[in-house]
Amino acid sequence: MKKILIIGATSAIASATGRIWASEGHSFYLVGRNEFRLSAIGDELRKLGAAQVLTHVADLANLNDHDSMITTAFTALGEVDIALVAHGVLGDQKAGEINFSLAFQEININLLSTMSLITNIANHFQQQEYGTIAAISSVAGDRGRKSNYIYGTAKGSLNIFLEGLRHRLHKHNINVLTIKPGLVDTPMTHEFKKGFLWASDSRIASDIARAVRKRKDEIYTPWFWRFVMFAITLLPRSIYKRTSL
Ligand SMILES: NC(=O)c1ccc[n+]([C@@H]2O[C@H](COP(=O)([O-])OP(=O)(O)OC[C@H]3O[C@@H](n4cnc5c(N)ncnc54)[C@H](OP(=O)(O)O)[C@@H]3O)[C@@H](O)[C@H]2O)c1
């Protein structure tokens, strides 16, 4: 039985991953902002077979609360095997281009709060001398695009942070997994028209659960995004800047 901390537990991708893990009988500490939805997800995980589910309501934009929140989670669970960090927002790119304070809020939640939480988790894991940090990034971090480069900046910077952390923690038996989903049908993308490249939250969740089990460093999910992004990153800048990608 594993002890699992999920930050941003009300996210569609995180709750779908939680459902897979609950059916294996693990224990959970769920952190989310919406008390009602958090409690509903907790009930669902219990019904699916979770050994124990504890919940913690928090607005993750408040970085000053992170240290005590993570300490409370580790104390409550005893030890933690897996920490999935999933919260995020897809801001309005155009609005952020005009008003930097909006871009700052998006960077705060997608990058700074994630770095702050993972730093706290990493230090607890280092004391335990084991653990897995699984953080949801995005293919959007692989190359800047005019339609979402504020979001992409946060995710691309997160990728570098996770790479450095993995390098630091490898000798302490701690695995750091960077998860790069492509287009996923969740509340975050409810306004987008869906097409053949889109995946369900449960498809992404099964890839996450498998990658955690296999102690992978990085995944693209679904897998074909590795090739899509490889092709996009190969495009010469002089051509790329003229495209409407
Ligand atoms: N959907 C995609 O196409 C896609 C693609 C690549 C990467 N991702 C990444 O996947 C992760 C999960 O997103 P999702 O697709 O599952 O979307 P989602 O269902 O909208 O989940 C986003 C979660 O972040 C939480 N959140 C946002 N700001 C918060 C704050 N200040 N404090 C606490 N919680 C906060 C939201 O809580 P509330 O419900 O309370 O707002 C929600 O639970 C995100 O990191 C996202 O960037 C998604």
Measured distance CA(183)–CA(229) in Å, rounded: 12
Task: Identify any residues that bridge with 5 across adjacent strands, giving them in sequence order.
Answer: 29, 83
Q: Is the pTM of this model over 0.85?
A: yes
239 CA → ligand 1 middle, Å: 33
Residue that is written with structure tokens 């010469």 in the block = 236
Give the pair of three-digit tokens for residue 48: 């699916």
Mutate to test the pocket of ligand 1, among 116, 188, 220 (most ligand atoms within 8 A of CB): 188
Smallest CA separation from ligand 1 atom 13, residue: 11
Smallest CA separation from ligand 1 atom 39, residue: 10
Measured distance CA(181)–CA(174) in Å, rounded: 22
Mutate to test the pocket of ligand 1, among 6, 7, 13 (most ligand atoms within 8 A of CB): 13
Mutate to test the pocket of ligand 1, among 6, 19, 33 (most ligand atoms within 8 A of CB): 33
pLDDT at position 41, please?
98
The number of the ligand 1 atom at minimal distance from the alpha carbon of 59 is: 32
Measured distance CA(245)–CA(241) in Å, rounded: 9
List alpha helices for the chain, DSSP H: 12-22, 35-48, 66-77, 93-98, 100-107, 113-128, 149-169, 201-213, 225-234, 237-240
Superfamily of domain 3-240: NAD(P)-binding Rossmann-like Domain (3.40.50.720)
Pocket of ligand 1 from Cβ distances under 6 Å: 8, 10-13, 32-34, 59-61, 86-89, 109, 136, 138, 181, 183-184, 186-189
DSSP 216: -
Residue that is written with structure tokens 């294996």 in the block = 24
Conformational region of residue 131, where left means phi above 0, alpha means psi within -120 to 50, and beta covers everything else: left
Residue that is written with structure tokens 């449960």 in the block = 202
The number of the ligand 1 atom at minimal distance from the alpha carbon of 185 is: 1
Measured distance CA(22)–CA(44) in Å, rounded: 9
3-class SS at 84? strand
pLDDT at position 245, please?
82
pLDDT at position 44, please?
98
CB within 8 Å of 78: residues ≥ 6 apart: 3
> Domain map of the chain by residue range?
3-240
Q: What is the pLDDT along the chain (245 residues), one digit of tens a residue?
A: 999 999 999 999 999 999 999 999 999 999 999 999 999 999 999 999 999 999 999 999 999 999 999 999 999 999 999 999 999 999 999 999 999 999 999 999 999 999 999 999 999 999 999 999 999 999 999 999 999 999 999 999 999 999 999 999 999 999 999 999 999 999 999 999 999 999 999 999 999 999 999 999 999 999 999 999 999 999 999 999 999 88
Closest CA to 120 of 167, 164, 85, 86: 85
Smallest CA separation from ligand 1 atom 24, residue: 87
The number of the ligand 1 atom at minimal distance from the alpha carbon of 139 is: 6
Smallest CA separation from ligand 1 atom 47, residue: 88
